[in-house]
């Protein structure tokens, strides 16, 4: 679809007569400016959004009402002939402070209006930088995020603000929480089907329930289009990764529109014997049943056979780069994830200032592992010992419903927005494995026969859980003045876990947990588009993944957290420049730790505490019409305040140590230069500081800088030919690991792609 460019002048009276006004000015005082105005700034690009006319007041003239509805319906228009591109920077700065977000607030506030750290990463930015998976899009764009991607946990394990893992940094899809089973999250993974990715740093339990002290990542899927658009892309890289993608959307008739996006990948991998592939399909249909009532039915399917590379063993505690491309998994290793997601969304504008939303969804997940995941170098024999011959099946089903009602009006003469609702879930999870994970083997470091999987122990169902959860929530925004608003929220969740243990029936149990959380904050706007804010929030995490809670941990309460955050955000020159600055302090209590007075007691106690404090800054600037710069940085001090473990038969308190997988500094810098008509280049560097490989802080994984670069040519506005080089300087770096093996990042890889819109 060719974007609709809307030049804005000083005369807004003309624009107020069309249906785009609510979209262009979602918040009073946040007017955006286009390049056609006297100041010569960028045009606003309206693309891939559903535009709805303002709802007319009821009248007795039914005929005129039908005419109004007909006028508001989308009309399919043919795309204009391709034109020659101009010499302008490809996209606007990436923080989107004036863009409404659903991740940090249920009231649809913009990041400028929200007393929290929220970022919106648009699909255009992701595509421009060649970020094909969710991990790259988040860690290379958002402030303060890193990841520890391993095939064993599905790859989606993020770290932010000193807290790591998918049990404390939550993953969402279209605002719906995906429950984590046995530390594994496998969906969503590819960015082609995403319209945007929104991130919330800091506690998110008041929005989504337990399991979000660190933050939340919300992948927003592509939505039906009211204007016809088709797109296709093909690419090939030096790892023989072949990628084919299509995207189509538009109106079927005046009341029905659709969107269908599909992506397929096949690759030889960058280590030996590592063929992998995946397919993802996302489809949705929107029905505008009436002026004030719409239904959207969506279906997503993903089938992955990911990389079987689990890491490189350390040699005498150090990384030997000669082993960089070795894969020590067995030859017949097999991993497969299948996820299916169905969702029905209802949006109803009941009356002036009153709206209702309801989302009903069903998710099914089936996973299978058959591989060897642990490798260690033997200094006496000079070979690699392999252990943990693992075969596991996960079968998970999640069905739920979320309902909320929003009221916008006045309280005692003050503008007020209020939303309240409930969230219910039912999650069935069955775990089948070959416990114990027996079997060992040894292979030479080089030129070895990988062998085959050894079925030493039989595979059988080990446990089944049924988790039922209900939660109620409310949020309110009261505008005390035109410049000062108070925002508060509260949520209470009550999950019940029923576990049936097939191997040890005595470990079966039923337990109900209580998970209350709340947040209160204030936003002050001393001048237009400048926000100063502060907030206090609480959150809760399970001691382990909730739906796979073990009998050993069933009697522990949920871990609790609290955060204080202050910050400032500003948008300048109609979005030409943006910057943010935030400072925070988080404390998490009730961690599981050993009894320091009784090291022989293997049962842990809830006496541990972890904290982090830090400063985060981000900025985006369109320096000229052809040059754009984006940068962010996060400094933090994360530590255990009290965390006792048993080492060598004695209790050791790790107080003062840094949690593993937590870097103390993270930064991203991007530059884009449109140096000639139709030509642009970009480059970005991701900087990640030293990271400890263990809680005892005995082995550090070195800091690294990874540079990615791209060159794009647009012969016309419909076609794009791009050459990208990932890890330009072929940096050898590690993204996760322990004291015996590290998982390395992808080496230098060149990719050529062709994209066409029609």
The pLDDT tens digits for 407-437 are 999 999 999 999 999 999 999 999 999 988 8
Distance between CA atoms of residues 11 and 337, nearest Å: 54
Q: What letter does residue 506 receive in the DSSP assignment? A: G
Evaluate if residue 57 carries a pLDDT over 90: no
Averaged pLDDT, 636-656: 90
Q: What's the pLDDT score for residue 493?
A: 94
Q: What confidence category does residue 80 fall into, taking pLDDT thresholds of 50, 70 and 90?
A: low
Q: What is the mean pLDDT of residues 551-580?
A: 92
Average per-residue pLDDT for the chain: 87
Q: Please determine, for residue 325, whether its predicted confidence score (pLDDT) is greater than 80.
A: yes
Q: What is the distance between the alpha carbons of residues 43 and 24, in angstroms, rounded to a whole number?
A: 12
pLDDT above 90 for 537: yes
- CB distance 168 to 157 below 8 Å: no
The rounded distance, in Å, linking the Cα atoms of 683 and 728 is 10
* pLDDT for 93: 53
CB atoms within 10 A of CB 462: 17
pLDDT at residue 666 tops 80: yes
pLDDT score for 100: 92
Q: Name the CA dihedral angle for 595, 599, 602, 607, rounded to a multiple of 10 degrees.
A: 10
Q: What's the pLDDT tens digit per position in 619-643?
A: 999 999 999 999 999 999 999 999 9
| pLDDT of 40 strictly over 90 | no
pLDDT attached to residue 31: 34
> Domain residue spans in the chain?
111-220, 221-757
Cα separations (Å) of 234 from 126, 265, 736? 16, 10, 31
- Reported pTM: 0.87
Give the pLDDT of residue 91. 54
pLDDT at 67 over 50: no
Please tell me the CATH superfamily of domain 111-220, with its number.
TonB-dependent receptor, plug domain (2.170.130.10)
pLDDT in the model for residue 76 = 43
Worst-scoring range by mean pLDDT, 42-46, 260-264, 407-411, 625-629? 42-46
pLDDT at 377: 96
According to CATH, the topology of domain 221-757 is: Maltoporin; Chain A (2.40.170)
Using CA atoms, how far residue 144 sits from 164, 472, 663, 666, in Å, is 12, 30, 9, 6
pLDDT above 50 for 56: no
What single-letter DSSP state applies at residue 100? -
Pick from 140-154, 331-345, 557-571: least confident: 140-154
- What pLDDT sits at residue 39? 31
């Amino acid at each position: 679809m060719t974007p609709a460019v809307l030049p804005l002048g000083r005369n807004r009276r003309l624009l107020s007569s069309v249906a785009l006004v609510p979209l262009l000015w979602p918040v009073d005082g946040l007017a955006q400016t286009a390049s056609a105005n006297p100041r010569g700034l960028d045009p606003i690009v309206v693309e891939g959004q559903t535009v709805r006319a303002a709802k007319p007041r009821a009248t007795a003239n039914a005929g005129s009402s039908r005419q109004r509805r007909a006028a508001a319906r989308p009309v399919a228009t043919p795309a204009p002939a391709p034109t020659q591109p101009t010499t302008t920077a490809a996209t606007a700065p990436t923080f989107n402070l004036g863009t409404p977000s659903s991740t940090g607030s249920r009231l649809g506030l913009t990041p400028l209006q929200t007393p929290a750290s929220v970022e919106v990463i648009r699909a255009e930015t992701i595509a421009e930088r060649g970020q094909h998976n969710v991990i790259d899009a988040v860690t290379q764009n958002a402030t303060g995020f890193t990841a520890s991607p391993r095939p064993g946990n599905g790859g989606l394990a993020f770290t932010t603000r000193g807290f790591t893992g998918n049990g404390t940094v939550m993953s969402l899809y279209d605002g719906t929480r995906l429950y984590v089973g046995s530390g594994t999250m496998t969906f969503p993974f590819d960015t082609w089907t995403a319209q945007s990715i929104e991130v919330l740093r800091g506690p998110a339990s008041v929005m989504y329930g337990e399991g979000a002290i660190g933050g939340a990542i919300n992948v927003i899927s592509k939505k039906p289009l009211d204007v016809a658009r088709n797109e296709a892309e093909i690419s090939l890289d030096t790892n023989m990764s072949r990628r084919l993608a299509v995207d189509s959307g538009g109106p079927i008739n005046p009341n029905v529109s659709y969107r269908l996006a599909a992506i397929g990948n096949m690759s030889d991998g960058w280590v030996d014997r590592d063929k992998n592939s995946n397919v993802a399909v996302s489809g949705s249909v929107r029905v505008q049943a009436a002026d004030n009532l719409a239904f959207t039915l969506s279906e997503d399917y993903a089938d992955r056979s990911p990389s079987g590379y689990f890491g490189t063993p350390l040699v005498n505690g150090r990384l030997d780069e000669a082993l960089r491309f070795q894969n020590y998994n067995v030859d017949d290793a097999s991993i497969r994830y299948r996820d299916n997601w169905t969702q029905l969304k209802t949006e109803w504008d009941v009356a002036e200032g009153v709206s209702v939303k309801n989302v009903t969804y069903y998710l099914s997940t089936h996973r299978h592992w058959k591989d060897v995941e642990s490798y260690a170098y033997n200094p006496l024999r000079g070979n690699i010992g392999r252990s943990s011959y693992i075969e596991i099946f996960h079968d998970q089903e999640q069905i739920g419903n979320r309902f909320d009602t929003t009221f916008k009006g006045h309280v005692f003469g003050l503008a007020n927005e209020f939303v309240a609702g409930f969230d219910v879930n039912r999650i069935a999870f069955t775990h089948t494995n070959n416990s114990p994970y027996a079997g060992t083997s040894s292979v030479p470091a080089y030129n070895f026969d990988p062998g085959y999987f050894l079925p030493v122990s039989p595979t059988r169902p080990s446990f089944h859980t049924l988790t039922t959860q209900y939660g109620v929530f409310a949020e309110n925004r009261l505008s005390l003045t035109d410049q000062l608003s108070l925002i508060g929220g509260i949520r209470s969740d009550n999950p019940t876990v029923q576990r049936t243990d097939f191997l040890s029936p005595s470990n079966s149990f039923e337990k109900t947990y209580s998970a209350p959380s709340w947040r209160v904050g204030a936003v002050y706007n001393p001048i237009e588009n400048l926000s100063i804010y502060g907030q206090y929030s609480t959150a809760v995490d399970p001691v382990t993944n909730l739906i796979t809670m073990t009998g050993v941990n069933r009697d522990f309460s949920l871990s609790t957290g609290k955060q204080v955050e202050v910050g400032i955000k500003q948008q300048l020159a109609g979005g030409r420049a943006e910057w943010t600055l935030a400072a925070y302090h988080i404390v998490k209590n009730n961690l599981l730790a050993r009894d320091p007075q009784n090291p022989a007691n293997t049962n842990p106690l809830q006496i541990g505490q972890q904290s982090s404090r830090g400063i985060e800054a981000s900025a985006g600037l369109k320096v000229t019409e052809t040059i754009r710069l984006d940068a962010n940085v996060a400094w933090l001090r994360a530590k255990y305040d009290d965390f006792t473990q048993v080492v060598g038969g004695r209790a050791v308190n790790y107080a003062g140590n840094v949690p593993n997988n937590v870097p103390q500094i993270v930064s991203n810098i991007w530059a884009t230069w449109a140096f000639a008509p139709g030509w642009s280049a970009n480059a970005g560097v991701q900087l990640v500081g030293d990271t400890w490989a263990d809680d005892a802080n005995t082995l550090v994984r070195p800091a690294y800088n990874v540079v990615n670069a791209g060159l794009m040519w647009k012969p016309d506005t419909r076609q794009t030919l791009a050459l990208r080089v990932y890890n330009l300087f072929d940096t050898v770096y590690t993204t996760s690991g322990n004291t015996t093996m590290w998982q390395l990042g992808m080496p230098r890889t060149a990719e050529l792609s062709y994209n066409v819109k029609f």
